[in-house]
Structure 1
Amino acid sequence: MRYFLLVLFVYFGQLDAQESKYSNHISIPNSFTKPEIDSAYLLADNIDTVELKRVLSFLASDSCQGRELGTKGNDIAADFIARTFEEYKIPKLKESSDYFQSVKFSWHSWKSTSFSADGFDYRQIWDYIAIPEKSSSLSIQTDTLLFLGYGVESPGYNDYTGINAKGKTILIYNGEPRTRSGKYLITGNNEPSIWSGLDKKIKAAHKHGVNCIIIIEENFKILAEENRASLYSPVVVLSRNEIDLSRNVNRLHISSTMLSKILGAKQKKLISAREKIIKSGKPKPLYLPIQIKADLQKEVIPIIGRNILAYFEGTDKKDELIIITAHYDHIGMRGQDVFNGADDNASGTSGVMQIARTLQMASDKGIKPRRSILCMLVTGEEKGLLGSMYYVNQPVFPLSNTMVNINMDMIGRADDKYKTSSKFSYVIGSDRLSKDLHKFNETINNKYSHLLLDYTYNAENDPNRYYYRSDHYNFAEKGIPAIFFFSGVHEDYHRITDDIEKIQFVKYKNIVRHIFLLTWGLANREEKLVLN
């Protein structure tokens, strides 16, 4: 009965999927057919639980200290991966003495923050927000706050008209002015202009020599939640993505509650000025006598991370490349607690390493793929997909020759939906850029693996947005077809209880073997993938 109900569910799910832009159904293989036993299947058979477990055991041990980027534990993990590649006798990249691609990062944090208005102290995070990666060290001592509406400088509406803002601390509302009917003043319709964001406002403030912008945030709590990571602990930024602080203006975001406390009775003047902007469609600057003192001291620490690369050159199609990825970093330690990240993502890391080992075993026997294959363990995923972002912007091999990215993240366990299944995987992104990739993965699965493939999280309106949350997305953003294998979220996600004892090794092995077979099939097929 359960099987019958599942088939009905899948059938109607497939009907719904026909109306969806991307696949979001469940694909169940024919369980009565046997896998085809050919040379590819026999190669995949070299992937076993023994070596998967040996590698994962070290990566998810306390000795790696949670593998957080910029820590000793991350370096220990990277060195172990490189040593293991040497043990597998995988050759290093040409003209390289190691397996590493160095990635330059920096830690940004506040050493100290203080802000007072008319002698009353306010607190970072609770009352105001200063985002460290978007600001530099700052000192303010002024007796006047200049209200400049929305900080806009456009032909039809200009808050800077007749104002000398050099060296001033200005106060502005977020967003842009509207009319009483609700239309945007600058566009004259219901569509906002580019002035709704902060980028243009920062450039205008810099042009006029503003010292600091204080932004009134109506959605202060949302902003605090969105920037939680950088407010409570140092944030990592790719060096190439650092803001040019010489062309930047420091900004502080304040809550409406803090605004009321700062202004007191003077808030009536501010409200009146805003009303006049709405009524007349013209700027209404206001000088507010307030003693503001602020001192924010920033710390920037440069660090070096490492992506780890194992390259297997192809034969007649060697200039075309398949890249397999998994991130090896995790979230480190909190006090004495170690977040070992056995599933997230020591599982994907060991999986990529076993595929690399199998490719080298094949090479040792004179069996090589037609296309080249790059097995890459990337760093900095937990900090914002930074290692893969670096690679796609500083590629070792031309992106124009990269046919596909195959990514694996958290493939060692199961969520509540598939807790008892040893043959399933969620598949995300397979038809976003190439329906051909989606069909080929299904073909490989029906021929060999016989996994239940669940595309639920591939739906464009999936609230989890997993398509955007792992390293494949950086490749997809560059127009490279990408497929992401994932086993779902469980109760130990980002907790100290994500340990090796909970890895489901039979199920884990089945997914890694399937990914190898997909890789091998893509590497040896005649045609390139057809893009949508």
Structure 2
Amino acid sequence: MIRFAFLITTFIFHHSLSLASDEINSRFTLKPQTLLQYIETLSSDAMHGRKFASSTSHLASDFIINELITYRIQPFKGKYLHRFMHENLFTNKQGANVIGFIPGYQYSDKYIVLTAHYDHLGTKGNSVYNGADDNASGVAALLVFGKQIKETPLKHNVILLFTDGEEINLLGAKSFIKENESIIDGIKLNINIDMIAGDSKTKKLHYIYGNFDNFINKKLVTQFTSMKSKKIKVKKGFKQLGRYSIQDRRTNWKMASDHGIFAKHNIPYLYYGVGTHKNYHSVSDTYENINKDFVVAASQIIFKHLVFLDNNISITK
């Protein structure tokens, strides 16, 4: 009898996971051309490299805001542009996060914060550091996610946080946390997307997470980590072989991008990226040099992970 009950329980568990998987697959139909158009526009010479606090940095933030308005995604706390100051011994510079908000249908006081930084390195002489992978790719993914979530809301409130000043010690993420201390306890998860397009040789999407055991049971952690893509390899951690493996091993990936600020405040986080490659922080990081098929597949699996976690992170363990 006990064995029979166990078999029934196991069947129900796996059947429910199968249903959840079917729901996830039906939730997201990514239009590759939209994603790629966003990357191409944000990494064009016309954006002048999107340098923090430059005279042309507003071009990228204006573009993002216009897309949020087009999708009818409401501004966060009544405004899209959230300015902050960066003060040092010599100069004071102003940056600006762009933030959209999509209400959830079940948890009015709980949030998932999706982050992608839109700043890059700017120009040097006549050269433009376009930053197609770093991080026009992440911004593009967040925009298409926002459109999908607006059309079919998640259980949790979703904050779309496009940060400025990530390249200058994660300034935008720091500002967001500082200005929103009142909701920190309600932030159930930060998903940070930074560099998911790679180069022509990129084959793996890497991810790391922290504090998952605080909000999701071990069986569901196992289910999450087993969710794969048919088109690309998805791997936990950034250890890899090859020319750039030493740099990857030396990098503190927990603090390598905006998710590090959420981690410091004990907020569960999930970070996706491809690691370093030959075009990283160079003038070769252009739209022409990204792996277009890869970034489409990466965006699809990330969104599937997002929907799965939205369905499960607030379930009592």
TM-score by length of 1: 0.51
Structure ranking higher in helix proportion: 2
Which among 247, 262, 266 is matched to residue 479 of structure 1? Answer: 266
For 1:92-147, what per-residue CA distance to the aligned partner results, in whole angstroms no more than 9, with x for missing partners? 235x1x312221224x4xxxxxxxxxxxxxxxxxxxxxxxx3xxxxxxxxxxxxxx
Q: How many residues align?
A: 290
Partner of 1:321: 111
Counterpart Cα distance in 1 of 2:275 and 2:302:
17
Correspondence for 1:71 among 54, 62, 65: 54
d(CA) in 1 for partners of 2:19 and 2:129?
38
- Whether the 8 Å CA contact 1:312–1:372 is kept in 2: the answer is yes
Amino acid of the structure 1 residue aligned with 2:233: L
Whole-Å Cα distance in 2 between the matches of residues 76 and 493 of structure 1?
22
Alpha-carbon distance in structure 2 between the residues aligned to 1:411 and 1:526: 24
| Structure 1 outlier segments of 4+, above 3 Å | 34-37, 435-442, 444-451, 526-530
Alignment partner for residue 87 of structure 1, among 65, 70, 94? 70
Answer whether contact 1:35 1:447 (CA < 8 A) is retained. no
1:255-282 CA-partner distances (Å, limit 9, x unpaired): xxxxxxxxxxxxxxxxxxxxxxxxxxxx
Which residue does 2:238 correspond to in 1? 457
CA shift in 2, pair 1:405/1:381, >3 Å: same
In the TM superposition, residue 58 of structure 1 has moved relative to its aligned partner by 1.2
Unmatched 5+ stretches in structure 2: 1-17, 241-247
Superposition CA RMSD, Å: 2.7
1:398 Cα offset (Å): 0.6
Residue 98 of structure 2 aligns to a residue whose secondary structure is strand
Determine if contact 1:40/1:517 at 8 Å carries over to the other structure. yes
CA distance in 1, matches of 2:141, 2:236: 21
Q: For residues 481-522 of structure 1, what are the alpha-carbon distances to aligned partners after superposition, in whole Å with 9 as ceiling and x for unaligned?
A: 111101121111111110001121221112112222222222
Distance 1:447 1:385, change over 3 A: closer
Q: 1:343 to 1:441 in 2, by over 3 A?
A: farther
Q: In the alignment, which residue of structure 2 is the partner of 1:38?
A: 22
What does the per-residue CA deviation read over 1:453-474, in whole Å, with 9 as the maximum and x for residues that have no partner? 3234379x94221221100000
SS at match of 2:33: helix
The answer to whether the aligner puts 1:409 opposite 2:199 as a matched pair is no
Structure 2 SS opposite 1:344: helix
When structure 1 is superposed on structure 2, of 72-81 and 390-399 the one drifting more is 390-399
Q: Percent identity?
A: 25
* Aligned with residue 205 of structure 2, among 425, 436, 452: 425
Secondary structure of 2:167 counterpart: helix
Q: Summarize deviations over 1:203-248 as a string: whole Å, max 9, x none.
A: xxxxxxxxxxxxxxxxxxxxxxxxxxxxxxxxxxxxxxxxxxxxxx
2:215 corresponds to 1:434:
no
Seen in structure 2, the aligned counterparts of structure 1 residues 72 and 400 have a Cα distance that, compared at 3 Å, is same
Structure 1, unaligned runs of 5 or more: 1-33, 109-132, 134-298, 363-367
Q: Choose which of 79, 83, 103 in structure 2 pairs with 1:102.
A: 83
Q: How far is the alpha carbon of 1:397 from its aligned partner? A: 5.8
| Residue pair 1:320, 1:403 contacting (<8 A) in 2 also | yes
Shift of 1:72: 2.4
Equivalent pair of 1:322/1:519 in contact (CA under 8 Å): no
Distance 1:398 1:78 in 2: 24
Judging changes above 3 Å, is the alpha-carbon distance between structure 1 residues 504 and 440 closer, same or farther for their aligned structure 2 residues? farther
Q: 1:455 to 1:89 in 2, by over 3 A?
A: same
| C-alpha contact (below 8 Å) 1:63/1:73 kept by paired residues | no
Counterpart for residue 175 of structure 2: 390
